[in-house]
Amino acid sequence: MKKLSDWRRLRMHALEQSCLKVFDINIRQNWYTKELIESSLNKADVLKLNEDELPLIADMFGFDLETAIASIIKEYSH
């Protein structure tokens, strides 16, 4: 999984920069983990996800689908 390792190094470098951080989840195949998504949520200023990704994220984090967006905001706003 060299591609994932390279991506993580790039991500860490980008997160060290002083700028607006937009997290576009873009769930693709097996290129994500709960830990990676949670880390990104903790560092993001803006979250972009679509209606197909929301149920997956809600399930992954144990949020009720109807209130998932509010739960994500409450849990990860900084």
Range of the domain at 60: 2-76
Output DSSP code: residue 66: G
- Using one digit for the tens of pLDDT, what is the confidence trace for 38-73? 999 998 999 999 999 999 999 999 999 999 999 999
Counted domains in the chain: 1
Give residue 4's pLDDT band: very low, low, confident or very high (50, 70, 90).
low
Note if the pTM is more than 0.85: no
Select the more confidently predicted residue: 68 or 7.
68
- Cα 7 to chain centroid distance, Å, stands at 14
